[in-house]
Structure 1
Amino acid sequence: MSTARKSLQLSFFTMGSRVLGLIRDRFQAVLFGTGEIASAWEVAYMLPNMLRNLLAEGVLSQAFIPIYAEAQGVSAERAARASGVVLVFLFFALSMIVLAGVLMFPWLLPIINKGQPNTAMLIELAQILFVFILFASLAAVLMGMQQSHQHYLIPALGPILLNLVFIAGYLGLFWQNADGPSAARQLAWIVVIGGFLQLALQVGWVVYKGWTPHLNLDWRNPALKKVLLLMAPAVLGASMFQLNQLMDILIASWFIPYEVGAIPALRYAHRLIQLPTGIIGVAIATVILPTLSRTLRQADEQQESRSEFTTAIQFSLFLTVPASLGLFILGDDIIRVIYYGGKWDTSSTTETWQALFYFSLGVPFFSLSKILTSSFYAWQDTKSPVRIMMAMVLLNMVLNVILVGPLAQGGIALSTVISSIGSVILQLLWIRRRGLHVDAGRFRRFIGRALTLWILMALLLWLWSLVATPWITTLAIPGGWALFPGNPVQYRAILIVLPAVIIAGPAYLAGAWLLGLEELQAIVRMLPWQRFWRRSVH
């Protein structure tokens, strides 16, 4: 099965998780807004998620997959022992990290939170939520095992289960009319339960498929040593990215007035851009890593490596650029559609849009960076990304200090985008030095056609926004908006965003068909009626 096809299939499941994540965020926005409780929750939830992004969705799985695949090539027994020793080591190491975090938070978090009035609540929430990282990281190893066996469904269902638990928790809080710190405290325990259920799902499927790890304490196992050697520099590099996030929070906490709600605004805006980058970038990176791990080390398959690499980059751009344009042109109305209501008011929308406006420019680069990083891991080269990331962290820190004054949280978002662009450029240059590069002729043809399509789509969205917004903003219907349950501000935004999606989506696909873009053909080949048509013809 091709990279494009696998990526699309995985993207569909990831999309389900991200859509559920938006529903979860909607409930959170209505319950907390961007006020004091929201700020405490975002910082407390960020801490385990920084480690989850570092381990569960980052270097742990990317370092483990090549080593597990190598052991799998020798024998099933060796693969079972390799996964078993890694799981046992992680359990003990992460238990110590969780304990250390719980004990250190009362001293560490007041520094991060700059003595704000919600510090006590922040400490309590962080101590509860930090347990989540233990379950998420162990689940990541089991997901990596399944991906090595070319099984992607159950790993993709893990985040879906977590979001369903989240949503059930919010519905329970609404049913109780829970509010304030009590609601936040209950929600923290719900997250921990969701993490445990996510781990249980992965354990059950791995055992069912007969890939049960042989748990052991053989610290001399070469697989453990290789994973740790791969992870060590990679953790340093990925921790640079997490340091970026932490610095963003510190800058927002120290330099932007507390009443603005800059921290929740940044986090909500970042989640919106994670929808396309998570669906597309993570899916393609997950699928391309095993392929590149196999082909890059075989001289007679270098052409296949180049072809897969080019396909991954083109496919990413084909899907992320229109998403970037949509967020850039219609972002403020998208925020109203998803978040508006309850404690989320016009001020919350304004502050979040200030960050999303700049974040939206970086969507293609955030996705490309994930794919390019996978290319380094395919070589088992974790040092090069570290060097690149260290340079970008320094750049981001300098830009944060320069831009936060005039642009507030928008400056923090813009700093992140500029750093990501720099990272992609350096990664491409580094990879080219290693002998892997895009097929220049094929890529030029793609860019020539796609650029025309992107310009036309931007014009279409801009004209729709220009014409529709003034009219819909003043629109009234017989009986008023009370005919509809909900908020008139949100419904006006829906009337702007929904037609734009209905018009621009098919127009983009039609343009891609007219221009003969192969990325569209890969999508069409996946459609069920296309398979039915082929069977009918034959």
Structure 2
Amino acid sequence: MRAFSTVGSFTLMSRILGFMRDVLMAQFLGAGLAADCFFVAFKLPNFFRRLFAEGAFSSAFVPLFSRILGRDPTPTSRHNARIFAQEALAVLLPILLVFTGLMQAVMPWAMLVLAPGFADQPEKFALAVDLTRLTFPYLLLISLVSLFSGILNGLGRFSEAAAAPILLNLVLISSLLLFHDTAIMTAKALAIAVSLAGVVQLLLLLYGAHRMGFSLSLPRPKLTPAVKRLLTVMLPVALGAGMTQINLMIDVILASMLPEGSLSFLFYADRLNQLPLGVIGIAVGTVLLPHLSRTLAGGSAVEAIHHHNRAIEFALFLTLPAAFALAIVPQPLISALFQHGAFTADDSQATAWALAAFAAGLPAFVLIKVLVPGFYAREDMKTPVKIALLALVTNLVLNLLLMGPLRHVGLALATSIAAWLNAALLYLNLHRRGQFALDARLKSRLLRVIASCGFMAAVLFGLDHFFGAGRGASKAMQVGQAALLVVSGLGVYGVASLILGAFRLSEIKNWR
């Protein structure tokens, strides 16, 4: 819990700064041509980042690195872990350099795949290519950040890796404040700032590794047994991560064929949906993976199952009320955050519907982040791949069925349904093998959490109905209403949870 609070608090700071960034982006970019082009340009390096760096590489590297360290690291195990990290860096860096250069050369053809709907608009297509060439070096930099984050996380130090996204948002916010004369200028400044932020993040992680005594040299690339094992483990993880990222890319491709602004509506809705996902799901998963790996290395399977139950209990305690709230009152939240400047009331409404659809799958998104470490910690990389492939096919079919009648909202809803299928199959596979089962405490707490969410939902629905007639009269009123909804929801959920026994104050005190 202490490790989660570290990761979660830094992630929360990053998300708050991310909202400030998104508010400025909504003001200066709006939801038009320049915004669509930048969001595509930001998507492509992030696609490969999540696929290789934070997906395949991190998920494979952290368990292997943690097992080499052992449950109680010794000087010998630390030395062996450092050698493994250096060997991994020596192989990773040249691959990234070659791949980055290749993508710069073939970017126009890559854009035809990524955003085919832009092809019949030469100005839009050219801008998207230019912006993506500016953002793509971020992949190289953030992949190195991922390596050093894995080292620090394996050592049980989470602060630098969790703080790195804060620097990204600070750099992007600075570019928005300095360069916003036109939407095109803003988009180009943001694209340059993305790669610059990667440099700043890497410097922070290098400093953190140095403080922990893990400065790395760069030996000649060799396929040592440890590196071969890393690559063997990475392959199925890359396929699994690829399924998730392909799901997201399918949404981008299909959204580019919908009316202008659809990509932007999905982006802004996903940003709000990502707040609880990042603060809760990613934070719990980040802490859980090295912890489970070390626990299983010590031979304590029963203890691992216990900790997995507590991780899910804690994650759902925070996630379910967020999902209820985002689904019930998306409009006032979107209006308060984004509706000003180039972002209109119609844009708010379109974004709110997408947010409600994403919120329906929020618990599933978080559960996936918490369940997958149960496989990776046991070095089972293939099962999540098979499940992700089935979810990918489901998402594609639902996209094609729903985008006609529901447009961009159908894409968001399809993503949520596919996420629930993914989470359910992950749980069933762990349960069938005897590697995880819901214990009595989790079952009892879950029912109490759902009941508490019901009370909160009723209050939010009533307040939203009461505010309905006067919403939008002024920006101050929008912000005030949204703030009151947030405070009221938190208060009602907290009191209801305490009365119903969804949590106890003594447990929170013991986390310190």
TM-score by length of 1: 0.90
- The AA in structure 1 aligned to 2:86 is G
Deviation at 1:520, TM superposition (A): 5.7
1:516 matched to 2:501? The reply is yes
- Tell me if the contact between 2:316 and 2:363 (Cα under 8 Å) persists in the aligned partners: yes
Distance 2:379 2:235 in 1: 12
Question: Structure 1 residues 439 and 350 mapped into 2: Cα distance closer, same or farther (>3 Å)?
Answer: closer
Distance 2:381 2:106 in 1: 30
Which region of structure 1 is more displaced relative to structure 2, 109-118 or 27-36?
Answer: 109-118
- The AA in structure 1 aligned to 2:15 is R
Distance 1:196 1:68 in 2: 25
Partner of 2:216: 213
Deviation at 1:59, TM superposition (A): 2.6
1:196 matched to 2:193? The reply is no
Distance 2:472 2:462 in 1: 18
Distance 2:366 2:198 in 1: 26
1:94 matched to 2:79? The reply is no
1:166 matched to 2:172? The reply is yes
> Which of 76, 99, 103 does residue 78 from structure 2 map onto?
76
Q: How many residues align?
A: 503
Distance 1:466 1:398 in 2: 36
Question: Structure 1 residues 194 and 519 mapped into 2: Cα distance closer, same or farther (>3 Å)?
Answer: farther
Partner of 2:387: 388
1:341 matched to 2:340? The reply is yes
Deviation at 1:341, TM superposition (A): 1.2
Partner of 1:306: 305
Partner of 2:274: 274
SS of equivalent residue, structure 1 residue 33: coil
Deviation at 1:14, TM superposition (A): 0.7
Query: Which residues in structure 2 correspond to 1:14-93 (within 5 Å)?
Result: 14-73=11-70, 74-93=76-95
Partner of 2:139: 133
CA displacement, residues 478-515 of structure 1 (integer Å, 9 cap, x when unaligned): xxxxxxxxxx2x32321221111222212212222222
Distance 1:26 1:53 in 2: 24
Distance 1:316 1:118 in 2: 41
Partner of 1:11: 8
Partner of 2:483: 498
- The AA in structure 2 aligned to 1:122 is A
Deviation at 1:181, TM superposition (A): 2.0
Query: Which residues in structure 2 correspond to 1:95-494 (within 5 Å)?
Result: 95-111=97-113, 112-114=115-117, 115=119, 116=121, 117-174=123-180, 178-254=181-257, 256-257=258-259, 259=260, 261-299=261-299, 301-470=300-469, 472-473=470-471, 488=474, 490-494=475-479
Distance 2:51 2:271 in 1: 17
Deviation at 1:156, TM superposition (A): 1.0
Distance 2:146 2:201 in 1: 10
- Tell me if the contact between 2:179 and 2:185 (Cα under 8 Å) persists in the aligned partners: no
Question: Structure 1 residues 526 and 337 mapped into 2: Cα distance closer, same or farther (>3 Å)?
Answer: farther
- The AA in structure 1 aligned to 2:19 is L
Deviation at 1:459, TM superposition (A): 0.7
Distance 2:371 2:405 in 1: 33
Deviation at 1:519, TM superposition (A): 6.7
Partner of 1:485: none
CA displacement, residues 303-332 of structure 1 (integer Å, 9 cap, x when unaligned): 211211111111111101111111111111
Question: Structure 1 residues 7 and 474 mapped into 2: Cα distance closer, same or farther (>3 Å)?
Answer: closer
Deviation at 1:391, TM superposition (A): 0.6
Deviation at 1:180, TM superposition (A): 2.8
Deviation at 1:65, TM superposition (A): 1.0
SS of equivalent residue, structure 1 residue 56: helix
- The AA in structure 1 aligned to 2:106 is M
- Which segments of 5 or more consecutive residues in structure 1 lack a partner in the other structure? 476-487, 528-538
Identity of aligned residues (%): 32
- The AA in structure 1 aligned to 2:95 is A
Deviation at 1:262, TM superposition (A): 0.5
Deviation at 1:152, TM superposition (A): 0.8
Distance 1:454 1:239 in 2: 34
Deviation at 1:134, TM superposition (A): 0.4
Distance 2:124 2:46 in 1: 20
Deviation at 1:525, TM superposition (A): 4.0
Distance 1:226 1:352 in 2: 44
CA displacement, residues 159-185 of structure 1 (integer Å, 9 cap, x when unaligned): 1111111111111114xxx21322221
Deviation at 1:516, TM superposition (A): 2.6
- Tell me if the contact between 1:82 and 1:221 (Cα under 8 Å) persists in the aligned partners: no
Question: Structure 1 residues 474 and 187 mapped into 2: Cα distance closer, same or farther (>3 Å)?
Answer: closer
Distance 1:415 1:499 in 2: 31
Distance 1:474 1:353 in 2: 14
- The AA in structure 2 aligned to 1:155 is A
TM-score by length of 2: 0.95
- Tell me if the contact between 1:307 and 1:438 (Cα under 8 Å) persists in the aligned partners: no
